[in-house]
Amino acid sequence: MEHKKRVLITGGAGFIGSHLCDLFLEKGFRVACMDNLITGKLENIRHHLNSRDFEFIRHDVSDYIDVKGRVDYILHFASPASPADYLKYPIQTLKVGSLGTHNALGLARVKRAKFLLASTSEVYGDPLVNPQPESYWGNVNPIGPRGVYDEAKRFAEAMTMAYRHYHRLDTRIVRIFNTYGPRMRRNDGRAIPNFICQALAGRPITIYGTGRQSRSFCYVTDLVDGIYRLIMSKEHEPVNIGNPDEMSLLELAGLIIKLADSRSEIVHKTLPIDDPKVRCPDISKAKKMLRWKPKVTLRQGLSKTVNYFRL
């Protein structure tokens, strides 16, 4: 067992983190999953708890991190990630992006581990450029309600690059665009779980604003494949991972109503402050550097996700 590479995934009991645990175990790694379970769930990783190659560590990464034994890779995914969560936990979101990132980077330095930061398309804010390339610096309101998440991730990117330049740490940064799939929480607050749960229950589907604002949605297995390719690559600058197929929220709601065989109607509510009008990744870099592109169509992915929420 000792010859196997070992990966630490912070936030590993969360939606994306748990799928990363699956992937690394499938690829023959030993996996240490660290989570304080504020937004993560043990149910997401319960199927691994009896595995000799898996361990769960309940810990808040905003506090000092000490992991015994060798660590070859660290994937830092700990953070509230939906607007409902980071508006509920604004201070914790800022702390995990700053102190948590600092602690995880410090551990990577001690262990001489490769480090990957989970950043976000939110670093682009309400973008004035569409689609968004990695070279775009963004249009962010630092003191708006979404600023606690946007700026935490922007700081985390700066801290990661500082460790790379000053300490010569081997780092990666992935900018994750809207992702969906099984293990999303019903009360997540984001469009897809909201729409699916409302459609399955026959309740009105709530759209904020006109619904003409656009998003692009990447199925979770495509995302974690891109993340794996990135950490195994030699690319140190940020890389967008997402699906560039853009659609309006009205179109998304209509598709979910069909897939759920629902009679739900659409109702409109006031658009939240600083809600992005467009969100679409330029994935030219991922295609070139990682030879990656999404494979799962939105209809295929939504069908699987609707079936998950039916259970």
The residues carrying an active-site annotation are 149
- Number of Cβ within 10 Å of residue 300's Cβ equals 11
Interatomic CA distance for residues 130 and 171, integer angstroms: 27
**Residue with token string 């030219």:** 284
Structure tokens of 161? 């690059």
Interatomic CA distance for residues 19 and 25, integer angstroms: 10
Measured between alpha carbons, how far is residue 45 from residues 12, 81, 147, 191 in Å? Answer: 8, 18, 30, 24
- Cβ neighbors of 97 (< 8 A, separation 6 or more) are 79, 149, 151, 152, 153, 155, 156
